[in-house]
Chains A and B, each alone.
Chain A
Amino acid sequence: MRPSFGRERSAVAVAFLIGSTAFLSMPADALTEVEKLRAELAAAKDQLSQTQDELGATRAALDSLTKRVDAMEAAPPPPQAPPAPPPAPVAVAPAPMAETTARILPVNADNPAISFVVDTELSSDTQDSWESIGYANGVNFSLQNAELFISAPIDPFLRGYASINGSSDHGFDVEEAALVTTSLPWNLTVKGGRFFADFGRLPHWHDEALPFVNRPPSIDRIIGGESQAEGAEISWLAPIEHFVQFTYGVYNTVGADNTDDVNSNGFFGRRDWSDLNMLGRVQTYFDLTDTWNLEVGGSWLGVPHSSDRNLWGTDVTFRHQPGTQGFYQGLVWGTEWLWNREKFTERDDTGAVIGETRDHRNGGYTYAEAFFGRRFSAGVRFDYSQSPDDGKDTANTISPFITWQPSEFQRLRFQFDDTWGDEQTNQRFTLQWTAFIGSHSHGFAQR
Chain B
Amino acid sequence: MASHSARHWIFGCILTLGLAVAGPAAATLRVVASTPDVADITAQIGGDRVSVTTIAEGTQDPHKVPVKPSFVTKLNRADALVVQGLGLEHAFVPALSEAARNANILPGAPGYIDASLYVKPLEVPSSQNRTQGELHPLGNPHFNLDPEQGRLMARAIAEGLERVDPPGAESYRAGLAKFNQKLDQRIPELARIAAPLRGVKAVSYHQDLIYLANRYGIDLVGTIEDKPGIPPTPGHLEDLLATMQREKVQLVIHEISYDPSVGDNLAERTGAHVATISSMAGGLGKPGYLDSIQANLEALVAAVRAASPS
Residues of A within 8 A of B (CB): 82-83, 85-86, 88-93, 97-98, 100-107, 109, 156, 182-184, 186-189, 236-244, 246, 248, 274, 278, 280, 282, 285, 287, 293, 295, 302, 304, 319, 321, 323-327, 373-375, 406-409, 441, 443-445, 447
Contacts and interface: CB of A to CB of B under 8 A. Distances in A.
B192 A82 contact: yes
Interface stretch (B35-43, B60-68, B285-293): B60-68
Given A101-B160, A107-B128, A324-B64, A302 B85 contact: no
Contact of B259 (A88, A106, A326, A406): A326
Contacts of B77: 239, 241
A276 to B, nearest CB: 11
Contact of A444 (B67, B138, B162, B215): B67
A82 B191 contact: yes
Nearest to A96: B159
Contact of B231 (A278, A287, A374): A374
Interface residues of B, number: 88
B21 A238 contact: yes
A390 B171 CA distance: 71
B198 A243 contact: no
B73 A246 contact: no
Contact of A239 (B14, B19, B130, B259): B19
Contacts of B100: 237
B259 A90 contact: no
B120 A82 contact: no
Contacts, number: 197
Contacts of A82: 188, 191-192, 195
B114 A101 contact: yes
Interface of B: 1, 4, 7, 11, 14-15, 18-19, 21-23, 57, 59-61, 64, 66-70, 72-74, 76-77, 83, 85-87, 94-96, 98-101, 103, 107-110, 112-114, 116-120, 122, 128, 130, 133-134, 137-138, 143, 146, 148-149, 151-152, 156, 159-160, 162-163, 188, 191-192, 195, 198, 210-211, 214-217, 229-231, 256-261
A290 to B, nearest CB: 8
A322 to B, nearest CB: 9
B98 A443 contact: yes
Nearest to A243: B69
A284 to B, nearest CB: 8
A243 B66 CA distance: 16
B103 A443 contact: no
Given A90-B148, A97-B159, A236-B18, A243 B94 contact: no
Nearest to A186: B19
B108 A246 contact: no
A98 B153 CA distance: 13
A83 B11 contact: no
Contacts of B22: 238-240
